[in-house]
Chain A
Amino acid sequence: MSSPEAPATEEAEAPVTDEVREEVLAELREDLGDAIVGTHIVPGQDLWVRVTKDAWQQAGFALRDGAGFKMFEFVSAIDWLPSPWGKSEDSPTDEVVETEPAEIVTGYAGGDTRFQVFARAHSQTRKMGVTLKVDVPEDDFSLPTWIPVFAGANWHERETREMFGIDFVGHPHLVNIYLPGEFEGHPLRKDFPLLARHVKPWPGIVDIEPMPGDESEEGEEG
C-alpha cells in the first residue's frame, strides 16, 4: 500500500514496476493479441485488462487455461452514466432537480460505452487476481456467456441481466434471480430512481461524524 498509485493512463507507466503483473499481461497479450484494448496496473495491487466484445469468451479461456487463473470470483457490470439525480447529498431542503447528464468518465483501462461488464478471476499459484473489462454498446446489448469458462458465472450473469438488462447469449436460464417477476426496470442503472428518496429527502445528509482523535471534538462523543 505504500507504493504510489499509478497515473490513470492507458499503459502502466508507474514509477514502481510490477514484474509479476507485467508477466501476466505479457502472457495474456500473447494469447489474445489485438483483442486487448486497454490495460492498467497499480503496482503491488491489481491488474485491469480491457478486451473487445468479440474476444470476451476467448479472454476467459486465456485467463483460465493460459495464465492459470482458475478461481472464479464474480461477473458484474457498471453503468458509467453520472446519476441524473445527483447523489442526494445536497441539503435536505433542496429540491431534487434533474440536471443535464454530465460527461461519462470511465475508470481504469478506459472504455467507450456507458455500460461495461467486468469480471474477476484469481490464481492461487500466482497469488493475485485479474479484473477483465469489456465494453457493451447499447445498440447491441448482449455478451457471450461465461458459463463454459466458469460454471459459477451462471448466477452472476442472471444477476447482471436483472440489474442492468444486459443479455447473455448462450445462457441456459436467464431469468430474474432476485426481484419478483412483475418488477419493472433495472435497478442498478444510474437512471433508475429510488422513489423513496424523491418523496422524502435523505435525513442523514448533514450528519458528518466527528473522527476520534479530532482535537476539537475530543471527549464529547462516547
Chain B
Amino acid sequence: MAAITDRQRLAYANAQAADGRVNLEFETDEGMTLNMGPQHPATHGTLRIVVKLDGEQVLSCEPVMGYMHRGYEKLTEVRTYPQVTTLINRIDWLGSFANEVPFILAAERLMEIEAPPRAQWIRTALFELSRIANISLFVGDMALHIGAMTAAFYAFRDREFVLNQIEAATGGRFHPNFDRIGGLKDDLPKGWIADTKAAMERIRDFCDEMEILVEGNEIFEARTRGIGVIPAEVAMQFGLTGANLRASGVDWDLRRDEPVGLAWNEVDWNVITHPDGDSFARFWVRLQEIRESTRIVDQLLDGLPAGPYMAKVPRIIKVPEGEAWVATENPLGEMGYYVVSQGGLGPFRVKIRTASFNNVSVVPWVCRGVYVPDVITILASLYFILGDIDR
C-alpha cells in the first residue's frame, strides 16, 4: 500500500499514547499496576480490575465497577408494577426469567394474592430452565478462560435448545417478561412438555461431555485445584450465595430451605455441596447443579397440576402499603427484592439485592497473593454478570 497519510499517522500515535496510559503504569515503590478491563476478554462484561503486582504475584486487587450501572433502583420508582418486570428482566441477562420471580412474589405477598398451583409449577420449571441456560454458558465460559475454546462452542450449541423451549413457552428468547402478579401471562403451548424433556436429555449429555472434556483435563485441574480458596466463614461474612457458598461446604439452598411458595419441595432433588472452596469446587458444583435442574424440570413437567394459570387480580394493579422481602435462589446466587409500597401504582422504593454484587466483593480478599493468571480463573469461577453487579 501507499504511504500512510498524516491523519492516519496521527491517529496511530494518539492510540499508542492512549494505550500506554490505560494499560500499564509503572510505579517505583509499590510494584506494577496492571489494568484489566473495562473491555477485557477475560472479564465477561465491562468489569475493570486494577491489580497491583510484584512480579507475577498480586499484591492487591481492586475491582472498578459502574460501567454497566443503569440505575435500576431509581427507575423502578417511576414505573408501575407491570412495567418494572420488563425492566428487571435485564439485570441478570442470562437467566432473565429468574429475575422476575422474586419481585412478583414480593408484590403478591403485599397484595395477599397467591398464584394457583399450576402457575407456581410452571414458574418453577421456567426458573430452572433459565438456570440451565445461564449455567451451561458458565461451563463453557470457564473453560474458555482456562484456554479451551471448544467448550464454549459446545455450550452455545446446547444452550440454544433450552432457549428454544423458553421462547416457545414465553415468546421471548432472552427476556421473557412472562410472569404476572397472580400467575403467568399464558399457559404452556401444545407439545412443549415432550420437547422440553428431549432438551433436558440433551443437556444431560452435554454435562457428561463437559465432564470428560473439561473436568478430567489435567491442565484444567492444575489451573483450578487449590486456587482461590474461600473458607465458609469468609463466604458468609461477605454474603456469598449460590454455588459459591455451596462450593465452600455450606449446605444452604433457598430452593430447599425457603421455597416461598414455588414448587421445589414437591419434587426430589439434591443440594450439591463441595468441601474444598476452590475454583474447581465452584465449577464442579455448578456443573452438577445443571444435572439436578434437568431432573427438577423433568419431574415438574410430569406432575404438572391442572387448573387455572392466573389468579383473580384487579385490572389495575395497586399494591397496598407495606414492606416485603422475597429472595430466591437464582442461577448466580440469592437474589432478593425489598419492595416498599405506599399504595401507588408503582413501588416507592425497591432495594435489589443481587448475588453477583456480594459474590464479587470477595475478589479483593481472595486475590491477594495469587498469580496473575489465577485472577482470571478466580473471576471466572466466581461467575458474575455485570448487569447483576452494577444494576
Contact = CB atoms under 8 A, between A and B. Distances in A.
Contacts of A71: 236, 239, 252
Interface string A163-185: 10000000000001111100000
Contacts of A105: 342
Interface residues of A, number: 58
A124 interface: yes
A199 interface: no
Contacts of B80: 89, 208
B353 A213 contact: no
A129 B336 CA distance: 12
Interface string A24-53: 000000000000000000100110100000
Interface residues of B, number: 63
A198 B363 CA distance: 40
A88 B109 contact: no
Given A46-B324, A211-B310, A212-B310, A1 B109 contact: yes
B183 interface: yes
Contacts of A112: none
Nearest to B114: A1
B302 interface: no
Residue of A4, A155, A209 with most chain B CB atoms under a 10 A cut-off: A155
Interface string B306-323: 001110110110000111
A152 interface: yes
Contact of A212 (B66, B71, B186, B351): B186
Nearest to A217: B315
9 contacts: A8-B322, A87-B344, A107-B323, A118-B351, A127-B257, A131-B338, A151-B238, A177-B66, A213-B310
Interface of A: 1-2, 4-5, 8, 42, 45-46, 48, 70-74, 76, 78-79, 82-83, 87-89, 105, 107-108, 118, 120, 124, 127, 129, 131, 150-152, 154-156, 163, 176-180, 187-188, 190, 192, 194, 197, 202, 204, 208-214
Q: Sorted from nearest, which 8 A-B pairs have the closest CB atoms?
A: A72-B239, A178-B66, A152-B238, A178-B69, A152-B239, A74-B353, A213-B310, A151-B237
Given A71-B239, A194-B75, A212-B184, 18 more contacts: A4-B112, A5-B322, A42-B322, A45-B109, A45-B324, A46-B325, A71-B252, A72-B238, A72-B358, A105-B342, A107-B340, A131-B338, A151-B238, A155-B357, A176-B66, A180-B66, A190-B77, A213-B183
Interface of B: 65-66, 69, 71, 73-75, 77-78, 80, 82-83, 108-109, 112, 114, 180, 182-186, 234, 236-240, 250, 252, 257-258, 261, 308-310, 312-313, 315-316, 321-325, 327, 334, 336, 338, 340, 342, 344-346, 349, 351, 353, 357-358, 361-362, 365, 390
